[in-house]
């Protein structure tokens, strides 16, 4: 049945097919990044549910985000 999926590409130029391949690779990469970020978000949410500021701080800094607000220069703390 995969031939049906590929049928729409028939007759396209080589450059168009190459562009499609590049876009598919980018899409796959973005899907993987989204899955990783979703996992990180879920881990952070689970950590916050424990009410452990140290755990939150570790997770935020491991994600590359600054733990301080640039506007107020205060530690960002979320409570539920």
- In tens digits, the chain (80 residues) has pLDDT values of 566 778 889 999 999 999 999 999 999 999 999 999 999 888 888 777 666 556 666 666 666 655 555 555 555 555 54
What are the backbone angles phi and psi of residue 7, rounded to the nearest 5°? -60, -35
Residues shown for the chain: 80
Report d(CA 40, CA 56) in Å as an integer. 12
Is residue 32, in this structure, part of any structural domain at all? yes
Is residue 6, in this structure, part of any structural domain at all? no
Is residue 3, in this structure, part of any structural domain at all? no
Domain span at residue 22 reads 13-80
* Burial profile 34-61: b = 16 or more Cβ within 10 angstroms, e = fewer: eeeeeeeeeebeebbeeeeeebbeebbe
Is residue 34, in this structure, part of any structural domain at all? yes
Say if CB 50 and CB 35 are below 8 A apart.
no
Is residue 8, in this structure, part of any structural domain at all? no
Please state the domain count of the chain.
1
Is residue 73, in this structure, part of any structural domain at all? yes
């Amino acid at each position: 049945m995969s031939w049906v999926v590929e049928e729409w590409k028939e007759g396209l130029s080589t450059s168009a097919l190459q562009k499609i391949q590049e876009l598919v690779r980018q899409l796959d990469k973005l899907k993987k990044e989204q899955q990783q970020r979703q996992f990180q978000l879920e881990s952070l949410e689970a950590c916050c549910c424990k009410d452990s500021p140290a755990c939150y701080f570790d997770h935020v800094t491991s994600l590359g985000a600054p733990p301080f607000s640039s506007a107020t220069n205060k530690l960002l703390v979320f409570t539920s």
